[in-house]
């Protein structure tokens, strides 16, 4: 049995927590055992919304820079961890300092911070690295990390959850009788471009005044965006859901998924949108273009140009033939690329490779590159 201790830091957002929840629920059993610890109290309370198991708290003491979390070392010994899986850079630093003899997997979660994270990961020659997209892998390698240490494992979508949500009253609960309804990529960040997305929404609302935009998951940027819609006199445009709503639930209320990125972003929410058959309107940044091709399985526009984004957005609302064509393609691709079996098998293989001293990516293939 492989015992995996997952360590979370504040960079582990709601999307990453949903990925972790899928992983531990599917792998925890006869052959593997999984425990979860948080080094920040805030992430522990957020994680409790998505994980169906006890969460241990191993807070840092004295100062963040010291990576001093004595409780983590105690937990590692009690659990008898074979592998530590750190979700975020701070979690990896603490785990490397407190559990030095335990093999380490680092999930790099933020494409914008990938090059910075690579600089210190190089100082941990035995650590394996997992990422969810080729853009992050390329950034890590460009910053000096050996390609043999990085595995691309795409996130998973659960079609059973999606089908169950379709039969629920989630739309009525979240938005009532409003429509059309757009779900924005989240949590909001500057790189995520939600500011430009709301400008585009203001344009679309001139044609469809009943438009509503769901803005999921709290962040510093989301607070700025709420002030913005009040300043332009459109406070009713936004719908802010409860923080424990999952991507399947949010997509169950949506007619369009909007990803107005101006920089590289986590693309796992796009996987859920593809699987749910919700048309995707996005910006043609590299991470999004890894998955979405314009007018093939989604609609793309130039980043940071709200007028162009609004045009694509209106097409996704009004052109039924186009929407049926691109969503059929997207849903079929999601089944091939983001299947639960590949996701779980690849992470199980990653842990095995690390313990056996093999190359990290041995037996692991990027499903988006071969589908």
> Which residues lie across from 86 on neighbouring strands?
7, 106
Taking phi over 0 as left and psi of -120 to 50 as alpha, with beta for the rest, 81 belongs to beta
Q: Are residues 41 and 97 in the same domain?
A: yes
pLDDT at 113: 86
Q: Which structural domain range is residue 92 located in? A: 2-156+339-370
Q: What percent of the chain has pLDDT over 90?
A: 78
Evaluate if residue 125 carries a pLDDT over 90.
no
pLDDT at 69: 78
How far apart, in whole angstroms, are the C-alpha atoms of residue 99 and residue 95? Answer: 5
pLDDT at 64: 53
Q: Are residues 258 and 353 in the same domain?
A: no
Strands 238-239 and 128-131: unpaired
pLDDT at 62: 56
Model confidence pLDDT, tens digit, residues 270-286 = 999 999 999 999 999 99
Model confidence pLDDT, tens digit, residues 287-296 = 999 999 999 9
Closest CA to 164 of 50, 279, 257, 248: 248
Q: Are residues 199 and 343 in the same domain?
A: no
How far apart, in whole angstroms, are the C-alpha atoms of residue 352 and residue 103? Answer: 11
Q: Are residues 100 and 211 in the same domain?
A: no
Q: Are residues 211 and 168 in the same domain?
A: yes
Q: Are 101 and 123 in contact (CB under 8 A)?
A: no
Question: Can you tell me whether residue 172 is helix, strand or coil?
Answer: helix
Q: Are residues 350 and 327 in the same domain?
A: no
Evaluate if residue 209 carries a pLDDT over 60.
yes
Determine if the pTM surpasses 0.85.
Answer: yes
How far apart, in whole angstroms, are the C-alpha atoms of residue 277 and residue 117? Answer: 35
Q: Are residues 343 and 208 in the same domain?
A: no
Is omega for the bond preceding 358 within 30 degrees of 0, making it cis?
Answer: no
How far apart, in whole angstroms, are the C-alpha atoms of residue 261 and residue 273? Answer: 16
Domain count, the chain: 2
Q: Are residues 146 and 172 in the same domain?
A: no
Model confidence pLDDT, tens digit, residues 103-118 = 999 999 988 888 888 9
Q: What are the distances in angstroms from CA 252 to CA 149, 163, 174?
A: 38, 9, 10
**Tokens, residue 62:** 């004295």
**Tokens, residue 84:** 């530590």
Average pLDDT over residues 108-131: 89
Evaluate if residue 119 carries a pLDDT over 90.
no
Q: Are residues 57 and 126 in the same domain?
A: yes
Q: Are residues 67 and 208 in the same domain?
A: no
Closest CA to 39 of 87, 110, 78, 1: 87
Q: Are residues 189 and 300 in the same domain?
A: yes
pLDDT at 156: 94
Q: Are residues 313 and 346 in the same domain?
A: no
pLDDT at 34: 95
Model confidence pLDDT, tens digit, residues 45-94 = 899 999 988 899 988 765 555 566 778 989 999 999 999 999 998 899 89
Average pLDDT over residues 336-342: 94
pLDDT at 89: 87
Evaluate if residue 370 carries a pLDDT over 70.
no
Confidence of residue 371 (pLDDT cuts 50, 70, 90): very low
pLDDT at 339: 94
**Tokens, residue 32:** 């593997």
Could you tell me the CATH number of the domain that includes residue 104? 3.40.50.2000
- Average pLDDT across the chain, whole number: 92
């Amino acid at each position: 049995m492989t015992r995996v201790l997952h360590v979370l830091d504040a960079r582990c957002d709601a999307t990453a927590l949903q990925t972790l929840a899928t992983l531990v629920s599917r792998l925890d059993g006869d052959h593997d055992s999984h425990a979860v610890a948080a080094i920040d109290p805030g992430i522990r309370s957020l994680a409790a919304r998505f994980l169906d198991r006890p969460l241990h708290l191993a807070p840092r003491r004295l100062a963040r820079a010291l990576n001093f979390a004595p409780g983590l070392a105690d937990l590692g010994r009690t659990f008898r961890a074979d592998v530590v899986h750190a979700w975020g850079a701070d979690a990896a630093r603490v785990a490397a300092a407190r559990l030095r003899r335990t093999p380490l997997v680092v999930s790099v979660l933020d494409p914008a911070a990938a090059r910075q994270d690579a600089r210190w990961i190089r100082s941990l020659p035995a650590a394996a690295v997992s990422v969810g997209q080729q853009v992050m892998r390329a950034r890590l390698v460009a910053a000096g990390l050996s390609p043999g240490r990085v595995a691309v494992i795409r996130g998973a979508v659960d079609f059973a959850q999606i089908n169950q949500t379709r039969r629920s009253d989630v739309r009525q609960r979240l938005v009532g009788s409003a429509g059309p309804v757009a779900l924005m990529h989240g949590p909001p960040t500057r790189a995520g471009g939600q500011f430009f997305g709301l400008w585009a929404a203001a344009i679309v609302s001139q044609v469809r005044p009943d438009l509503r935009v769901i803005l999921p998951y709290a962040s510093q940027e989301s607070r700025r965006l709420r002030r913005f819609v009040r300043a332009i006199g459109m406070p009713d445009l936004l719908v802010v859901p409860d923080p424990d709503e999952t991507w399947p639930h949010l997509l169950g209320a949506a007619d369009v998924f909007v990803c107005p990125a101006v920089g590289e972003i986590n693309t796992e929410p796009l996987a859920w949108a593809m699987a749910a058959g919700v048309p995707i309107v996005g910006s043609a940044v590299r991470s999004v273009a890894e998955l979405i091709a314009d007018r093939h399985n989604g609609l793309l526009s130039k980043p940071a140009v709200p007028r162009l984004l609004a045009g694509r957005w209106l097409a996704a609302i009004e052109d039924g033939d186009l929407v049926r064509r691109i969503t059929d393609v997207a849903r079929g691709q999601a089944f091939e690329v983001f299947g639960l079996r590949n996701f779980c098998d690849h992470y199980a293989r990653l842990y095995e490779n690390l313990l056996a001293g093999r190359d990290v990516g041995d037996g692991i293939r990027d499903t988006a590159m071969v589908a």
